[in-house]
Chain A
Amino acid sequence: MSRLNIQKTYKLYIGGKFPRTESGRYFTINDNKGNLIANMCLASRKDFRNSVVIARNVQSSWANTTALNKGQILYRVAEMLEGRKEQFIAELIAQGETPANAKTEVLDAIDRLVYYAGWSDKYQQFFSAVNPVSSSHFNFSSVEPVGVVAVIAPENQSLLGLISVIAPAIVGGNTVVVLASETKPLTAISFAEVLNSSDVPGGVVNILTGKKAELAGQMASHMDVNSIIYCGTDEKLIKSISELASHNVKRTIFYKKHDWTNESCESPYLIEKTQEVKTTWHPTEI
């Protein structure tokens, strides 16, 4: 007896759930030959707004999760991804990668998660300091997460690029709202399934699929977003993001790189990008 394959419905990932877009809209993703691979949710600005509300609500509890626990959770994500790597390789190939590149990308993605999991209880020591001052104060600086980070993920290497950007942000105690690659969004939503089964609390990572043209402005201007990361080379967009981000002096981070397998993507300084330094002057005896 013949049977029909059951196709996956790709939905959004908001607050640890997989809702459809509130707008009810979709867009299509084709492979290289023009065959339809999937219908994706075309997220609206309201989906983005709802995600930010949730990301804000869970941010402090995520930041207060112990460093050890955050590291364990990131490692757990790597474990889950390892177990499903064949699926991700196949999905990347469907989106147009060569088999060799697809494999490299997935393996690098797993390793990258492990890399940042390891930094979880270490970067604080790296970026904190006791500062020499000439008054009778004990003066020290430490880092704290900026808060809610909006991320426009890279178009290419849509899995590895996305992980390379969000891993340093969340290991640092931030919560993120990500707009996945516009042309290759499948792996982002499959990755959400991995996050969902890895003890990552709902709302720490929220993933939307949709159009930059529609959402980038909202992501850059939203007053309750503390930082925006844009991965891409569109100078016009970089300029407009910079202008809109100035409303609440958002921290803007632009990555123009094309190759996310590069070793330069593994660095504690990438964690520091979404950290705020707090310096304390503590009076001491003379």
Chain B
Amino acid sequence: MIPNLNNLPVYDTTGVNERIARFCTRSIKASSKVEGLKLALSMIDLTTLEGKDTTRKVQQLCYKAMHPHDTLKNIPTVAAICVYPAFVKEAKKALHGSDIHVASVATAFPSGQSSLEVKLLDTKFAVDQGADEIDMVISRGEFLAGNYQYVFDEIAAVKEACGKAHLKVILETGELDTLDNVRKASEIAIYAGADFIKTSTGKIQPAATLPVTYVMLHAIKDYYLKTGKMIGMKPAGGISTSKIALQYLVMLNEVLGEKWMNKNYFRFGASSITNDILMQLVKSETGIYQSINYFSKD
């Protein structure tokens, strides 16, 4: 049932920013940094969501997911790859034999401007193709108009259509305007059955930021304290450097704790960050600053 949205904490932007600033200045020892980078690498949802995607592009991405950088020993593979429904089958085939999941966006991604019927068919198609995870978008228009019940019911219906597939709910925080709205949308998504809540589609600026992620982590924490159930978090879009990734991990650890510090409960939706992490890992191994020219593009 839809939770009471009137008693939610109210967020003070200045206060949140102050708190974030402190996460960003933690000093991290070299050895911890390497572990942090490896952890971040294992949490990546390697993503390609473009109109120009082709089968070959997706195959290439799957190869990158399984072989991030073969000259580096002891590095994990990424958590999942994230594609449009049309490429799920191909991705499943390409990733056969690995434990890398295939996530698919659905529900008229990225705008979500379609009928519930179409959205459910979209979801079922992706699941039938073999998707392990579904990334849905909420109807931001309905949310901003105050039709919270509509948004709730829609998420619940998509959750049902997912079957065994995990559901990530994209709030598209860049369109929600305020942190209070982000909190409200997080509550609705969590109570409607989301396994993960996700910041953004990556198509709208600003995408993931530390402040909105902080608010969403809070919603997850409060839900956990109340029900004992763990919900996952996925910031997506705009996370392009290792340094920022580590800041997210610091925040995750300090808000939710160690239980969340794995790919089952935290993901990065990104693509360019992969090479930046790899470059940092090679740097820490060789002492030499790296160039993107020596790393595979996808």
Query: Which A residues lie at the B interface, using CB under 8 A?
Result: 45, 49, 52, 218, 221-224, 247-248
Contact = CB atoms under 8 A, between A and B. Distances in A.
Interface stretch (B54-62, B134-142, B184-192, B283-291): B283-291
A57 to B, nearest CB: 11
Contacts of A218: 289
A159 B293 CA distance: 34
A224 B289 contact: yes
Contacts of B287: 221
A221 B283 CA distance: 11
A247 B289 CA distance: 11
A49 B287 CA distance: 12
Contacts of A247: 288
A224 B288 contact: no
A224 B293 CA distance: 8
B289 A49 contact: yes
B289 A52 contact: yes
Say what secondary structure dominates the interface of chain B. Answer: loop
A224 B292 CA distance: 8
On chain B, which size bracket covers the interface?
under 10
Contacts of A45: 289
What are the 9 A-B residue pairs with the smallest beta carbon separation, nearest first? A224-B291, A223-B291, A222-B289, A221-B288, A223-B290, A49-B289, A223-B288, A223-B294, A223-B289
Given A223-B289, A223-B290, 5 more contacts: A223-B293, A223-B294, A224-B291, A224-B292, A248-B294
A258 B280 CA distance: 39
A221 B291 contact: no
Contacts of A248: 291, 294
Interface of B: 287-294
A216 B172 CA distance: 46
A221 B294 CA distance: 14
B273 to A, nearest CB: 15
A71 B229 CA distance: 66
A32 B44 CA distance: 58
A146 to B, nearest CB: 13
Contacts of B289: 45, 49, 52, 218, 221-224
A223 B278 CA distance: 14
A222 B291 CA distance: 8
A45 B283 CA distance: 13
Nearest to A218: B289
A147 B292 CA distance: 14
B292 to A, nearest CB: 7
A52 B294 CA distance: 16
A218 B287 CA distance: 9
B60 to A, nearest CB: 23
A49 B283 CA distance: 12
B292 A222 contact: no
24 contacts: A45-B289, A49-B289, A52-B289, A218-B289, A221-B287, A221-B288, A221-B289, A222-B288, A222-B289, A222-B291, A223-B288, A223-B289, A223-B290, A223-B291, A223-B293, A223-B294, A224-B289, A224-B290, A224-B291, A224-B292, A224-B293, A247-B288, A248-B291, A248-B294
A221 B282 CA distance: 13
A48 to B, nearest CB: 8
A218 B283 CA distance: 11
Nearest to A49: B289
B178 to A, nearest CB: 32
A218 B289 CA distance: 8
A123 B291 CA distance: 29
A247 B290 CA distance: 10
A44 to B, nearest CB: 13
A224 B294 CA distance: 9
B22 to A, nearest CB: 18
A248 B291 CA distance: 9
Nearest to A221: B288
Identify which of A221, A222, A223 gathers the most chain B CB atoms within 10 Å of its CB. Answer: A223
A264 B289 CA distance: 35
Contacts of A223: 288-291, 293-294
Nearest to A223: B291
Contacts of B288: 221-223, 247
A49 to B, nearest CB: 6
Nearest to A248: B291
A45 B289 CA distance: 10
Contacts of B290: 223-224
B291 to A, nearest CB: 4
A223 B283 CA distance: 10
A52 B291 CA distance: 10
Contacts of A224: 289-293
A89 to B, nearest CB: 38
